[in-house]
Amino acid sequence: MHVVIFGAGAVGLGIGNCLLRAGVNTTLVARETTASALREQGLRRSGIFGSYHAPAGTFGVVGHIGELAAEPIDYVLVCTKSFDSATVAKILGRSPCCQPEACKIVLFQNGWGNFEVFSASIPPRRVFNARVITGFHRLAPAHVEVTVHADAIRMGSLAGVGAESMMDLADWIGQGGIPCQATPTIAKDLWSKMLYNCCLNPLGAILEATYGSLGDSSAARSVMGEIAREVFQVMRAAGYTTHWDDVESFLRAFHEQMIPATYAHESSMLQDVKCGRCTEIDALSGAIVELGERLGIETPYNRSMRNLVRFKEKQAAAGLERS
């Protein structure tokens, strides 16, 4: 088996380290700074699931997927940001080593709509989604820390392919130290994460707050409740369901279980804003706004989150340019 990790940020390094610990033949596609560090230092993981170091030379590192040898690839795990989906989909769709029918593309990305983007370049039955609500933080170019974990990684198909297609990959990630499951209900899992992320990530980025501090604030709880109601309304109108029958049931689980499990966490969106990088707001609040417009549903809270995060992006980028 050969697994390629496309995108060696925090998530890609964390999942790649699991596969290496399980003994899977793994190659990482990384930017030059990260690639150099991986070639020299290997890949180190620390944090709540223990430590593991994959020595340099025990795995592949390339700067572009075109550098890979002609050997077949069984899985490509896409761990890039959602705003890169269109570019990555075209690259994979044109890559000879990703052409065989047996090659599966698994999207380890935030937000809603990535499946549709990749399915425009790759047959939908070869495209799978992963739902990740584990927190990864890159301490150095070749060192990732697992900071929080709310539930097992779940993987499955939005195109009706059976969950058994993901069982090998789920087993390997689990053997590597992070719980992982193949599931026939990935759409429900993705929408549960949309609810979670749309409530926490934009507000956390705007207010520069941890998840726990948002949950402790009655004002923030009120805003998050309205965000969740809009997401629920759009989700149902689009023909999807999630693991809760109504928004009130979700909000109880959200405040009683999900926020406490990730209490001290800062969202990747806040980390991106602090560094002056683009965020994934368009795949989260922006996706709800866009779906709402198509379905004739007003989404003022999610629209406000999208617009304010876009403002924060520009403000942060301008500050870095002046410094």
pLDDT band at residue 320 using 50, 70 and 90 as cut-offs: low
Asked if residue 262 and residue 246 are part of one domain, the reply reads: yes
Asked if residue 144 and residue 13 are part of one domain, the reply reads: yes
Asked if residue 120 and residue 106 are part of one domain, the reply reads: yes
Strands 143-149 and 52-54: unpaired
Asked if residue 145 and residue 29 are part of one domain, the reply reads: yes
% of the chain surpassing 90 pLDDT: 85
What average pLDDT does the chain have? 94
Single out the residue of 63, 112, 117 nearest to residue 89, CA to CA.
117
Asked if residue 207 and residue 127 are part of one domain, the reply reads: no
| Overall average pLDDT of the 106-122 stretch | 96
The CATH number assigned to the domain holding 272 equals: 1.10.1040.10
State the alpha helices, DSSP H only, in 85-150. 85-94, 114-119
Summarised one tens digit per residue, pLDDT across range 252-266 is: 999 999 999 889 888
What beta strand segments (E) does the chain contain?
Answer: 2-6, 25-29, 43-47, 52-54, 60-62, 75-78, 104-107, 127-131, 134-140, 143-149, 153-156, 180-182
Domain end (from 162, 183, 204): 183
Asked if residue 169 and residue 220 are part of one domain, the reply reads: no
CB distance 99 to 68 below 8 Å:
no
Summarised one tens digit per residue, pLDDT across range 60-72 is: 999 998 888 777 8
Summarised one tens digit per residue, pLDDT across range 177-196 is: 999 999 999 999 999 999 99
User: Which of 203-207, 275-279, 296-300, 313-317 has the lowest average pLDDT?
Assistant: 313-317
Range of the domain at 54: 2-183
Domain end (from 183, 200, 235): 183
Asked if residue 167 and residue 23 are part of one domain, the reply reads: yes
First to last CA, the chain: 47
Domain end (from 166, 183, 200): 183
Report the predicted TM-score, pTM, of the whole model to 2 decimal places: 0.93
Give ∠ CA 14-17-22 in degrees, rounded to 5. 130
Asked if residue 303 and residue 277 are part of one domain, the reply reads: yes
Residue 260: C-alpha distances to residues 7, 62, 135, 225, 245 (Å): 30, 39, 14, 17, 22
Strand 52-54's sheet: what is its strand order? Answer: 52-54, 43-47, 143-149, 134-140
On the question of pLDDT at 150 being above 90, the answer is no
Asked if residue 221 and residue 270 are part of one domain, the reply reads: yes
Asked if residue 128 and residue 67 are part of one domain, the reply reads: yes
CB distance 145 to 167 below 8 Å:
no
User: How many domains are contained in the chain?
Assistant: 2
Asked if residue 173 and residue 52 are part of one domain, the reply reads: yes
Asked if residue 71 and residue 202 are part of one domain, the reply reads: no
Longest dimension (CA), the chain: 57
Length of the chain: 323
The CATH number assigned to the domain holding 70 equals: 3.40.50.720
| Overall average pLDDT of the 219-232 stretch | 98
